[in-house]
Structure 1
Amino acid sequence: MQKWRKNILKKNKKLLLMVLLGIVFAFTGCGSGTDSGSASEDKGNDLKTVKIAASSATAQLTECAQVAEKLGYIDEELKAAGYKAEYVGFAGAGPAINEAFAAKEIDFAFYADFPAITAKSNGVDLKVIGVANSEMNYGLLVSGKSGIEKVADIEGKKIIVTPGTILYKYFVELCEENNIDMNKVEIVNALTDAQTVLASGDADGLISSLGGTKMYEVMGLGKVIADSTSNLEQASGFVLAGRTEFVEKNADVNKALLRALNRAAKYAQKNPDEASKLMVTEAMPRKVVDAVYSYNTGFQYFSPELSDEYIERAKKVYEFAKDNSLLGGDVKLDELFDDTYVDEVLSE
C-alpha cells in the first residue's frame, strides 16, 4: 500500500469509526412514550430555546440542514419567531434520538426516516414535517482482493451488512435487481469494525450509506461498484421530525425551520460548489462530498417538500420494516408525514 494511503488510514481510523457507528444507528430505531413541551426560555434574553437533535456525537447537522445552519439561516428564522436553537448530539443516532423524543428531552430532530417510522410504531407521537434530503443513497463497496467485478459476483462471497436496518433493505433490493440468490451470500454483521474486517480479508464487500462507501474508496480500501443513485426507488430520506404536541402548538417554529431549509436548498441549487464546501468536515472531506452528490449537483433533493415521489419511497421503507417484523405496530403514514407547514412555506 502506498505511503499516502497508510497515512490516510491512520488519520481517519477514529473518524471513520464514528461515521460508521452513526450509520448503524441512524437507520435503526426504537423507543416508546408520549410527548410534552421541552422548549425552554432563555433567562438572559427574550428568546426561547428549541432543542434540535443531530445524528452525531458532535451535534453536527448534515445534508441541507448543515448548509442552512452554516449560512445562519436557522438562527435568523428562529430569532424572527422568538426562538434560538440548541443542538443536541447523539452518538447512538436513531435509537438514542427516539429515546430522547419519548423522554420529552428534544423538540425536533434531523435524522433518517426509518427510525422516525419505527418510533411512531412504538408509540412515540411524532410528525415528519419536511425533509433535508429526499434522496439518501446507499452503495456496495468491494475489496480489491475479493475478485468481485460486478454485483452478480457477490454470490459465494462475504458481505458486511447489518440486518434489521435500511442498509439491509438496499442489500435485498440489490440482490433482487441482479438475480442473486441471497442464500449464497454470507452476511457478516460487522459494520462498526468494517475497516479491519475488510483489510484482513474476512469480508469481501460492504453495504453502507453512499458516504460511508465513498469514504472507504477514497481511503483506497476498495471500489464502489453499485449504488442507489441509478435506481432512486432504493433511496430513502433524511427528515425533519418533531414531537406532535410541540409541532401542533408552535406553527411559527415549524415554519421557521422549514424556511431555513428552503432558503438553503435554493442556495445550493444556485451555488452547488459553495454548498459542497459548506458540507465538508473532518469526517467528510471534499472528495467524499463530491462523490456523494456528483450524480446530481442540481440539489433538487434538498427541497424540504414532502413530494409524492418521496412519500412513495417512504412507503417502501415502511413496507420493508413491516414485512421484516421491525415495527411495534402499524403506522398511518398520512398522520406521520404532515405537509401542512411545508406547503405553507413553499407557497409564500
Structure 2
Amino acid sequence: MKLRIAAALAALLASLSSVSAEGLTIRFGHPGTGLDNRQYSQGDATSYARARELIEKEFRTDKDIKVEWTYFRGAGPALNEAVAAKQLDFFLLGDLPAIVGRSRGLEHKFLFATTRHEPIYLAVPIDSDIKSIDDVKGKKVALFKGTNLQLATDRVLSTHGLTEKDVRFINLDTSAAAAALTSGNVDAVFGGPEFLALAKKGIVKIAYTTKGDDPTLGRHTSYLVTAAFEQAHPDVTQRVVTTFIKAAAFASDPANKDEVFDGWSLSCFPKDAFEGDIEADTLANRLNPLIDDFIIARYKDQVARAKAYGLIKGDVDVDAWLEPKYLQQALKDLKLVNYWSSYDANGEIAKLGDLNKKQSN
C-alpha cells in the first residue's frame, strides 16, 4: 500500500514538473541598449552569450522552452519597473539599481558577479581646461543618475575631497550626455567606454579615469534571478548560470579576446573602444564571476552609501541576498573551481586563480 502511495506521489510530482516546464518562456533583461537601440550590449560575458545565442543553444532541444531578451534604454530604473511588473526572470543590473530594487521589496537573488573594476571616464571637450577631478568643482557635468554610475561617481568625488554638492550635475542618459558634451551644453560627462570612441575620433578627450586610482573605485554589476522563478525552476536556473559561467571562462581566456570583441560589436560600439577600455587590465579580471570578499564588501559599501545619500530608505541585507549555490555548482561541473583569482575586501589577491598563474608563467 505504501509503495503504491509513494508511486502515485512520484507520478504526481513528475506531472507537476512537466506542467511547470510546458510553454515556459525564460525572460532575460538588460539595462541599456546598443547604438541606435540595438538589442545587444557589450562589456560582460552574458552580452557575449547573447551575441552568440549560447542560451538559445542550451535550450534548443527543450521544445517547450523559449528564450526572450529585452533591452531597456532607461537602463536600471526602467529594468526595475519591469521586474516589479513581473515581466522578467533573469537580468543584469548595476549595484545601485539592484540595491534600490531590493530595498523596495523586489524579490530576487544575486547569482554571480558580471563585471568588476569597470572604469569610469571623465570626458571633456577638446579645448577644455578640466584636467583632473579637482577641476570639475562648480562645473556643469552630465551624469546618468539612478544607475550604478551615480554612486561610483560619488565615491570618486569623495576620494578627491568633493561631493555632489560641489558639482552642478545634470541628469542625462548616455546618448543625451554625449550630445550635450559635443554641443557645449555641459562642461564634462562621467561615463563609460562609449566615450573612448569619441576620444579616438578627436571629438572629446579623457581627463580622468579610475584606472590606476584606488582599486576599490569603479563600477560593479551582477546577474540576478527573481525568487519566484528560482524556486519554481531550480534546474533551469542552474542551466542558465552554468551557460553564462562557461561563457565567462571562454571570454577570460586571452586567446579568445578578438572573438569576444566581435560578439560585443553587434551592439555597434567599435572594437577599438573595447581595446582602450581593457588596456592595463584583463578580461579575466573584469569578468571574474566569483562572489568573493571584494564583491561582498563593495555591495555592502554601496548599501551604506545609498542610505547616506537618501537613495534608499530601508536596509538591504547583502548576505541574505546572495545565492551562490548555482555558481558553485557551475564551477564544479565545468572544472573551474580555481580558474579565477579571489580578492579580499580591499581588492588585493587573496587566492591566485589557475588562469592568472598560467598568464604569469
TM-score using structure 1 length: 0.78
Q: What's the offset of the Cα at 1:140?
A: 0.9
1:89-133 CA-partner distances (Å, limit 9, x unpaired): 322232222222222222111232321211111111111111222
**1:40–1:250 distance in 2 versus 1, CA, 3 Å:** closer
Secondary structure of the residue aligned to 1:206 is: strand
The question of whether the paired residues in 2 share the 8 Å contact of 1:50 and 1:85 is answered with: yes
1:279-337 CA-partner distances (Å, limit 9, x unpaired): 11353111111122223234233233222211211222222211111114211111222
The question of whether the paired residues in 2 share the 8 Å contact of 1:145 and 1:201 is answered with: no
Secondary structure of the residue aligned to 1:280 is: helix
The question of whether the paired residues in 2 share the 8 Å contact of 1:129 and 1:338 is answered with: yes
The question of whether the paired residues in 2 share the 8 Å contact of 1:78 and 1:253 is answered with: no
Please tell me whether residue 130 in structure 1 is matched to residue 115 in structure 2.
no
Secondary structure of the residue aligned to 2:116 is: strand
Corresponding residue for residue 74 of structure 2: 92
Equivalent runs, 1:211-250 vs 2, <5 Å: 211-230=193-212, 231-250=214-233
1:51 counterpart (27, 32, 49): 27
2:299 counterpart (289, 314, 319): 314
Secondary structure of the residue aligned to 1:300 is: helix
**1:285–1:255 distance in 2 versus 1, CA, 3 Å:** same
Equivalent runs, 1:114-125 vs 2, <5 Å: 114-125=96-107
Corresponding residue for residue 145 of structure 1: 127
Deviates more, 1:179-188 or 1:111-120: 179-188
Please tell me whether residue 75 in structure 1 is matched to residue 56 in structure 2.
yes
Corresponding residue for residue 16 of structure 1: none
Q: What's the offset of the Cα at 1:241?
A: 0.9
In 2, distance between residues paired with 1:134 and 1:272?
A: 17
Corresponding residue for residue 194 of structure 1: 177
**1:162–1:58 distance in 2 versus 1, CA, 3 Å:** closer
The unaligned stretches of length 5 or more in structure 2 are 1-19, 334-361
1:143-201 CA-partner distances (Å, limit 9, x unpaired): 22221223322234332224554333233322333334765533333455323432343
In 2, distance between residues paired with 1:74 and 1:130?
A: 16
**1:254–1:233 distance in 2 versus 1, CA, 3 Å:** same
The question of whether the paired residues in 2 share the 8 Å contact of 1:141 and 1:223 is answered with: yes
Q: What's the offset of the Cα at 1:227?
A: 1.9
In 2, distance between residues paired with 1:330 and 1:282?
A: 36
Task: Give the letter for the 2:281 counterpart.
Answer: N
Q: What's the offset of the Cα at 1:248?
A: 2.1
The question of whether the paired residues in 1 share the 8 Å contact of 2:96 and 2:146 is answered with: no
In 2, distance between residues paired with 1:343 and 1:153?
A: 45
Please tell me whether residue 296 in structure 1 is matched to residue 278 in structure 2.
no
TM-score using structure 2 length: 0.75
Corresponding residue for residue 340 of structure 2: none
In 2, distance between residues paired with 1:220 and 1:246?
A: 47
Corresponding residue for residue 3 of structure 1: none
Secondary structure of the residue aligned to 1:299 is: helix
1:219-261 CA-partner distances (Å, limit 9, x unpaired): 4332112222323412232221111021122221222122112
Equivalent runs, 1:265-280 vs 2, <5 Å: 265-270=248-253, 271-280=256-265
**1:61–1:255 distance in 2 versus 1, CA, 3 Å:** farther
Task: Give the letter for the 2:250 counterpart.
Answer: Y
How many residue pairs are counted as aligned between the two chains? 304
Corresponding residue for residue 337 of structure 2: none
Equivalent runs, 1:172-183 vs 2, <5 Å: 172-180=154-162, 183=165
**1:88–1:165 distance in 2 versus 1, CA, 3 Å:** closer
The question of whether the paired residues in 2 share the 8 Å contact of 1:64 and 1:264 is answered with: yes
In 2, distance between residues paired with 1:80 and 1:335?
A: 35
Task: Give the letter for the 2:266 counterpart.
Answer: T
The question of whether the paired residues in 1 share the 8 Å contact of 2:251 and 2:284 is answered with: yes
Secondary structure of the residue aligned to 1:142 is: strand
2:45 counterpart (64, 71, 81): 64
1:205-225 CA-partner distances (Å, limit 9, x unpaired): 1111x2233233234332112
Secondary structure of the residue aligned to 1:123 is: coil
Secondary structure of the residue aligned to 1:88 is: strand
Secondary structure of the residue aligned to 2:266 is: coil
In 1, distance between residues paired with 2:84 and 2:170?
A: 32
